[in-house]
Structure 1
Amino acid sequence: MKKVFTVALLAVAAFTFQACKSGAGDSKNMADSANAVKDSSTKPAATGGIAAVEDDAQFATKAADGGMAEVAYAKLALQKSTNPKIKEFAQQMVTDHTKANEELMGIAKTKNISLPAAPGTEMQKMMTDASAKAGAEFDKQYVSDMVKDHDEDVSLFDKASKDCKDAELKAFAGKTLPTLKMHQQHIKAIQDGMK
């Protein structure tokens, strides 16, 4: 058993090294690679397995990546924006996404699913670009990014609420979806008001 664990650990290290070497070494990609090695649906005896299929684990990593990014970006908006509607929206993002992130972390822990430790490189670049802006220019960028992100979030969670094989992840997606749709409508209303 010790040998099997060592082989699995080496495989995770190799995947991680390869992801870093190829420039795709962000936290989400590393979590996806670790989960692929632990996927109990294809190799339970060799890995100790996870209690979810790979597609469900990928949903969890993508949802965690997006949730952490939304909180981080919202905190930046709370510092940089002077628009009270944007600040109100950003505070709601911190509150709602922190709660959802904590719930998802609890589910992932029971399923042995690795989640990213920090937002992925794409979102970090987006926040870096936005942080170089100020005033109305920052507000416009933040709102535009949040509209795009929430369109993607709603689509991701809608699909997961129908397609996840794991009952807990499916229920999490279905329970979180109405909140994401509310965020989507709220940020689009703010965007319409800025035109």
Structure 2
Amino acid sequence: MVSPARMGIVRGRITHTGGKTMKRMMKGFVVAGALVVGSTAFAAEKATAHKGFVVPSDEKALLERLHYANQQEIKQGELAQQNSQNPDVKAFAEQMVRQHTEADQKLLAYTQTKKVKLTDTPKPMDDAEKKAMAADKANLENLRVLKGEAFDSAYLAGQLGAHDAVLGKLAAGNQAIDGDPQLGALITEVTKNVAQHRQHVYALLGKTGPEGAVGGAGASGTNMGTPAPAPAQPAPAPAPTQPRK
């Protein structure tokens, strides 16, 4: 999954307070499956309550971030298919590549109807987004050099954190949407899909934990990549006392 700083909501408008534009964006969450971008506005009084989320000021900027997020997920999934030695991780990566490819195709088809041409890498809106994109690049380069168990641990840990962040941002977006049943239904569907993906990652971490083939967090989510210490062995029982003759 894409890094948490890149996740986002489908569509939003800017609001104006005291002559200053207040931007809110949830950076690039990816729809695994159908991707529909509407023209719904966010209610200003709700949007201002969700600090830390910025909405691009125009539709093209948002669509570019969704496209960018899809491409990042596809690249990570392709690396997982190459660098992982675990069949379960490979199967998950194949699913992510396939679903994000489908999502991106739907996104690009939508942009054609709007006569909008997207760039692969959006121009950062601010320093925070610039740093997030730099972190994305560094994470991808790190995954390129990892192999086997080390790759699986890094890849799955990133996927789990990213899905957790998306779920939180989708919940915030659901509150911010004002009066579009179609978009509300879409976010509900996406939330369900993201939750399923998150559970899939969590199950993989459990299967590939200290007792599996790959170092990773088990069900408790602790000690990723470090085998659990062996349980202490009980002390031998004392020999029975011999009666005196």
TM-score by length of 2: 0.50
Which of 144, 151, 160 is the aligned partner of 1:131? 144
Greater displacement, 154-163 / 177-186: 154-163
For 2:194, the equivalent position in structure 1 comes to: 180
Distance 1:165 1:112 in 2: 26
Of 138, 159, 174 in structure 2, the residue corresponding to residue 161 of structure 1 is 174
In structure 2, relative to structure 1, the CA distance for the partners of 1:170 and 1:71 (3 Å cut) is farther
Determine if contact 1:80/1:134 at 8 Å carries over to the other structure.
yes
**1:140 paired to 2:153:** yes
Cα deviation code 1:97-134 (max 9, x no counterpart): 22223334445565688855148432221110111111
The percent of aligned pairs where both chains have the same amino acid is: 22
CA distance in 2 between partners of 1:186 and 1:148 (Å):
13
Q: Structure 2 stretches of 5 or more lacking a match? A: 1-5, 17-38, 42-53, 123-132, 210-245
- Distance in 2, matches of 1:110 and 1:156, equals 28
Larger relative helix fraction: 1
Partner of 1:7: none
Corresponding position: 1:191 with 2:205:
yes
Equivalent in 139, 145, 151 of residue 164 of structure 2 = 151
> Which letter does structure 2 place at the counterpart of 1:127?
L
**RMSD of Structure 2 on Structure 1 (CA):** 3.6
What does residue 221 of structure 2 align with? none
Cα deviations by residue, 1:39-87 (Å, 9 ceiling, x for unpaired): 6877xxxxxxxx5658375765554433321111001101111100000
TM-score, normalising length: structure 1: 0.61
Aligned residues: 153
Q: Secondary structure at the match of 1:55?
A: coil
1:68 is matched with: 71
Distance 1:68 1:132, change over 3 A: same
| Unpaired stretches in structure 1, ≥5 consecutive residues | 1-27, 29-34, 43-50
